[in-house]
């Protein structure tokens, strides 16, 4: 019974996170902690489940035409080696987790505030200007900024045992780097490569990759398919933004409490 409840919880987490281009590592960590799973098993298992769900999310959002390689590649090229380094270091991250939890909580509140009809109307012109301006070009300054963001988030994702989506989404939304569904598409692919890099770094450090078990893998895959399909093809942009806020709030609560 406990195994089935854990699988259902993992499926629910995967569906919620996949709908916004995330893969659910923070949620899996929280769920497995509540179920009393061995801490040494939790982080690498969360990354394995991340790979499953992020692969599905990347495919679904790309099929829907939301993926932007010009935004993704500068982020990924810098993040992958940094994520591998973070996975190898495995430094204690208690203080960082507390600070990050506060940042994510503020990000969630900001997304909710900007999703209100009045805020959307007043800020629409400014958002369109920023989306079509500096962040969509190919200047050295833009590439340098994206690489810096990717490298920092890659290192943090490796240190914390997550794919980096909870770090990347608030940054891209804050800078109006792309439309919401494009942010979700890029985030899914970013999580995929960083999760693989984090696992590789752990292997180099002598930490084996655990097998999550067929039930957990299947649950994550099923939830990922449902969530990513809804996010990529069916849910309106405002619903995606509110789900993003919910995901960030959950991640914040996990980090803080």
**Hey, how many other C-beta atoms are within 10 angstroms of the C-beta on 98?**
12
**What does 135-180 look like in DSSP terms, one character per residue?**
GGS--HHHHHHHHHHHHHHHHHHHHHTS-SHHHHHHHHHHTT-S-H
Closest C-alpha to 214, from 1, 7, 56: 7
Paired tokens of 44 = 């690498």
Dist CA 237 CA 151 (whole Å): 28
Residue 134 is classified by DSSP as G
**pLDDT per position as a tens digit, 1-33:** 688 899 999 999 999 999 999 998 888 888 887
Is 84:158 a contact under the CB 8 Å cutoff? Answer: yes
**pLDDT per position as a tens digit, 75-126:** 999 999 998 888 887 556 566 667 667 767 877 887 787 777 655 444 444 4
Domain coordinates of the chain in residue numbers? Answer: 2-256
**pLDDT per position as a tens digit, 167-178:** 899 889 888 889
Is 172:186 a contact under the CB 8 Å cutoff? Answer: yes
């Amino acid at each position: 019974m406990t195994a089935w409840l854990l699988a259902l919880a993992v499926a629910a987490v995967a569906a919620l996170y996949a709908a916004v281009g995330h893969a659910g590592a923070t949620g899996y960590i929280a769920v497995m902690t509540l179920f009393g799973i061995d801490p040494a098993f939790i982080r690498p298992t969360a990354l394995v489940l991340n790979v499953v769900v992020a692969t599905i999310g990347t495919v679904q959002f790309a099929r829907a035409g939301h993926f932007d390689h010009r935004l993704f590649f500068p982020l990924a090229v810098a993040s992958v080696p940094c994520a591998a380094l973070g996975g190898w270091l495995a430094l204690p991250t208690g203080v960082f987790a507390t600070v990050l939890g506060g940042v994510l909580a503020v990000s969630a509140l900001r997304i909710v505030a900007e999703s209100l009809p009045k805020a959307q109307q007043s800020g629409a012109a400014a958002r369109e200007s920023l989306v079509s301006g500096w962040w969509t070009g190919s200047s050295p300054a833009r590439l340098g900024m994206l690489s810096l963001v990717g490298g920092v988030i890659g290192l943090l994702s490796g240190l914390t045992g997550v794919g980096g989506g909870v770090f990347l989404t608030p940054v891209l939304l804050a800078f109006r780097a792309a439309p919401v569904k494009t942010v979700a598409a890029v985030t899914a692919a970013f999580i995929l490569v960083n999760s693989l890099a984090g696992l590789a770094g752990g292997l180099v450090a002598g930490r084996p990759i655990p097998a999550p078990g067929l039930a957990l893998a299947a649950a994550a895959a099923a939830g990922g398919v449902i969530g990513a399909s809804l996010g990529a093809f069916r849910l309106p942009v405002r619903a995606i933004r509110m789900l993003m806020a919910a995901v960030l709030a959950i991640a914040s609560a996990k980090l803080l409490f």
